[in-house]
Chain A
């Protein structure tokens, strides 16, 4: 095929067409994301020019700037990058599997499961180190995905049942969270609400170190499954006649999606609409093939969180608005636009 490079690592398991346009677009997105990160690193109480930031990054900046960049701002920006990428990748998988462009882990309750676990942890294990919050949130996301899968199962899982039952579970999760918050002492209430809105305020290098391997590993795993996601999109009947193990693939893909969501939610809380938004933009740019769209989705998700967090940090200074408020302010109108545009489906 012209315009493609074909790669087959692990022969039967996976294969890629490297689409040349995709490579260009993805490289451009990577550059833009980097630029966003540089600008964000320079903004705040102490302002640094992009040039100063670049100097620091290659190791020739002055001491004060280095401190500001590496110690104060970089952890937050790095975590924002990872969280955005993980959310976007999770969204891309879910949209592929559910075959509905409006599905996303936050709308179908996966993030909600993580929230229940995390808020319960904050409330009942006050004395246990906060370090355990991420694995707990992770566990919550995975458990609710199993629940969703089990409840939607009826001789197989159909996308329609996944959507309806997912929305139900989402509401159940918010009911439980509301109950937990009402029962908790005032100080914890504020902490829990901040977390629920989605915020990467006060994250540290240890958070970044914790989620880095998960994010990278899971996105790579998703990329290896690209071929299977593409087949899922054809619909159950065609996939089956192509010899694909539709249900098994669907299960593994959803598991990866839950793990990615759990990773992101564990440090960032419920940052809504990124998982929905990023894959759409990516597909607009490079087409619907999952292998093409995944890396670009991840970059765009990262960029959205970086920019939203920049606005959240700077616009209402000294108040640090939770980043989730901005992602939904952008995401919800977009969602409505999507509903409108997909009205004939």
Chain B
């Protein structure tokens, strides 16, 4: 299939258009909501802050929300691309891989048993959870002669998710006090999170983005198969470990900021490949942009669907992503 944007100049033009789209969505996210404001109010909130409701909402709620959605969206898009390339599995995603569930489980344990609510600790616990469950799913999914098959990976992910979920539920039944706190966090949202959450993990996110783009060439080689890559002199284990580390940082830090949000990483690489073809660096760049746009848009929609209540954004992305997942599963995996 020929990509829509085949010339390099067209691809850069696409990036520019995406940045415009993100700016527009960010603006819409600042202005629209239960309390409607205007562009002037947004500027005034920073230039002539008068302590009015609108100004406080913009500074304390809307701006953090936009920044969270942007950062988390980019992370999830890139993580999805890395995962799908690394496993050569078109239906890989942080949710299906059990990374979200593992991080969520570890965080709930921390809240319930150790009363931890400090941001820095939260982050490390989420990283640890992602890493542990990701490693288990990866190992289980690649056992055996025929190596990693989509079915094995999916089942391994489902089992780890089921285990984590039931242990989590058990803890929540035993400790009713933590239910509210945990539930709020578990349903996944970019709203209601203070800016400090993002600030504390942003360095890790940035590091992972850079790492991901440094890995573009080795991953492109790895996509030809382990044997070919080894034959070309690549240290495949090293590349895989680095990619794994990037994935853990990306998913762990987005879980720490916004709770478990699935399926963004599943959808975006497919859309990106549709737009720019199969070259990994473009796919990665576009996945990040698409992820940010998708999350911003989903977050705006989440405010209006069940007004005045808000649909958790993790639920939104799952409900958008699952039809897509089913489409890919029906279309692409008939050979197995």
Contacts and interface: CB of A to CB of B under 8 A. Distances in A.
Interface of A: 100, 102-103, 106-107, 151-152, 154, 158, 160-161, 163-165, 167-172, 174-176, 178-179, 181-183, 186, 189-190, 193-194, 196-198, 270, 272-273, 316, 319, 321-322, 324-325, 328-329, 332, 335-336, 339-340, 342-345
B158 interface: yes
A159 B157 CA distance: 18
Contacts of B322: 168-169, 171-172, 175
B187 A182 contact: yes
A106 B91 CA distance: 21
Nearest to B169: A197
Contact of A164 (B159, B186, B333): B333
B162 interface: yes
B262 A171 contact: yes
B154 interface: yes
B311 interface: yes
B145 interface: yes
B169 A178 contact: no
Contacts of B143: 339-340, 343
Contacts of B176: 190
Q: Looking at B155, B157, B183, B187, which has the most chain A CB atoms within 10 Å of its CB?
A: B155
Given A160-B151, A194-B173, A197-B173, A172 B159 contact: no
Nearest to A345: B144
Contact of A340 (B140, B145, B150): B140
Contact of B183 (A169, A175, A189): A189
Contact of B330 (A154, A172, A179, A198): A154
Q: Tell me if B's interface is mostly helix, strand, loop or mixed.
A: helix
A332 B319 CA distance: 27
Kindly name the residue among B159, B184, B187 whose own CB sees the greatest number of chain A CB atoms within 10 A.
B159
Contacts of A183: 306, 309
Contacts of B146: 344
Contact of A167 (B145, B158, B172): B158
Given A178-B186, A340-B143, 17 more contacts: A102-B155, A160-B333, A164-B333, A167-B155, A169-B326, A171-B95, A175-B315, A179-B187, A182-B183, A189-B180, A321-B170, A324-B169, A325-B173, A339-B143, A339-B156, A343-B143, A344-B145
B169 A107 contact: no
A339 B150 CA distance: 13
Interface in B147-165: 150-152, 154-163, 165
Contacts of B129: none
B151 A100 contact: yes
Nearest to A164: B329
Contacts of A171: 95-96, 161, 262, 318, 322
A324 to B, nearest CB: 6
A179 B183 contact: no
B49 to A, nearest CB: 32
Contacts of A194: 173
B336 interface: yes
A158 B95 CA distance: 24
B172 A172 contact: no
A322 B170 contact: yes
Contact of A193 (B156, B159, B179, B334): B179
A334 to B, nearest CB: 10
B3 interface: no
Contacts of B174: 316, 319, 321
Given A161-B329, A190-B179, A175 B318 contact: yes
Given A178-B315, A321-B174, A339 B159 contact: yes
Given A171-B96, A175-B318, A179-B312, A107 B162 contact: yes
